[in-house]
Amino acid sequence: MSESRAHRSLVVAGTGSGAGKTTVTLGLMAALRRRGMTVQGFKCGPDYIDPTYHKAVTGRPSRNLDSWMLTSDTVKEIYARSSRDADISIIEGVMGFYDGKDPLSNTGSTAEISLLLDCPVLLVVNCQSMARSAAAIVKGFQCLEPRARVAAVFANKVGSDGHYRIVKEAIEQECGIPVIGYMKREDSLSVPERHLGLVPSIERGELGGLFETLADRIDQTVDMDRLLELAQASEPPAVPQPRLFAEPSRRYGVRMAVARDAAFHFYYPENLELLELYGAELVYFSPLAGEPLPEDVQGLYIGGGFPEEFAERLSAQTQVTDSIRSAVERGLPTLAECGGFMYLTGAIGDTQGRSYPMLGLVPGQVTMQSKLAALGLREVTGAEGNFLLPAGETARGHEFHYSVYEPQAELPHAYETKGLRGVKKDGCLLHQTVAGYTHLHFASNPGIVTRWLECCEAYGR
């Protein structure tokens, strides 16, 4: 592998949410793929939707890079491990370039990731209804953190070729960096609203036409050769010795069932890869397709997703629900996160007042709301009896859901979670199951993996 392959990278950052960085990212990825390049996608922050787009365009799993959930060395390791056989890494930012966990620092922001990995930044600016003022915006982003390498600007949502020229001249004169391309305001070219129910259409390839059109536009309006020059790092980044993915001292010979289909598919790739590294054979099955829990498994992982979109179909799969319910009641070591937690409750109620029975293991039901019920990064502390995260142990993750759990009986809680709104109790413990709304990133506490597999091994005996 040549150095030029290993160390070409670009952070696509926005001035704020809605600047168009996802559209630009996907267009660049598609245009680079068209050139025959191997493109590795990344997403800053805890997000499952945008990486699904990245994978559809690049053909490779996209990775989350979060400098709050994970240590700096872990971020570098995930980045280096995933980029090693790619020609270029494209890292899509989150919110605005400097937005993160703390309004007074770069913590958890796209800026912090760019500094950590020493990556050049392409700043996407929404230039609608402005001319020279665009230069003031870019200059502000340059000045707030002088160490950040804002290498070029992408002028998004310009009204015409003439408008683009005005903006380009102003920015290049005042800020001393190139404006390497633009896209016009065209509603037909925007990425559809990234609600949860869109993901299956991405996975079925229904947005392939959009990706091709975006690649066409990028090829027409972006200086791709200049972009690739800017993406070439002057110094190869230091690759840390594997620690997260170091050779384990022992492996656990267990089979673990993993629910994976259109209703359940929100998994950090590293969570699954760490389970495999430590010896787990992952056996995938689809509750939605009527596939019961696989036989001869010693563990079960039901990740997030949107079971509410498929509640009626899931409810009708009684053979599936019977197989999972009886295994959980027998003590199968299980983790159910967000959508998986919802699946374990008595019912899912939709916004029209209809209710669909689920597994009935967790007493009570979840009810969908039209607005977000919870969103944000979480530090969780294990509660007494949590076999994955014992009392006092911490891990990090995030919450994102529109449903509210309405308990009918009190169960021991699984975690205490700490977010912007303080500390609260989350989830529940029953049999040998940990269930709750928080999506955990196992790399924030790899002990989760070994403790889980030890329980699976004991269950198998």
**Active-site amino acid positions:** 338
- Nearest-angstrom CA–CA distance, 393 and 389: 6
CA–CA separation, 281 vs 272, rounded Å? 10
**β-pairing, 63-65 with 39-44?**
parallel
What secondary structure, in 3-state letters, does the chain show? CCHHHHCEEEEEEECCCCCCHHHHHHHHHHHHHHCCCCEEEEEECCCCHHHHHHHHHHCCCCEEECCCCCCHHHHHHHHHHHHCCCCEEEEEEEEECCCCCCCCCCCCCHHHHHHHHCCCEEEEEECCCCCCHHHHHHHHHHHHCCCCCEEEEEEEEECCHHHHHHHHHHHHHHHCCCEEEEEECCHHHCCCCCCHHHHHHHHCCCCHHHHHHHHHHHHHHECHHHHHHHCECCCCCCCCCCCCCCCCCCCCCCEEEEECCCCEEECCHHHHHHHHHCCCEEEEECCCCCCCCCCCCCEEEECEECHHHHHHHHHHCHHHHHHHHHHHHCCCCEEEECHHHHHHEEEEECCCCCEEECCCCEEEEEEECCCCCEEEEEEEEECCCCCCCCCCCEEEEEEEECEEEEECCCCCCCEEEEECCEEEEECEEECCEEEECCEECHHHCCHHHHHHHHHHHHHHC
Angle at 19 (CA atoms; ends 15, 25), nearest 5 degrees: 100
CA-closest candidate to residue 117, choices 14, 13, 218, 17: 13
Report the C-alpha gap between 155 and 165 in whole angstroms: 10
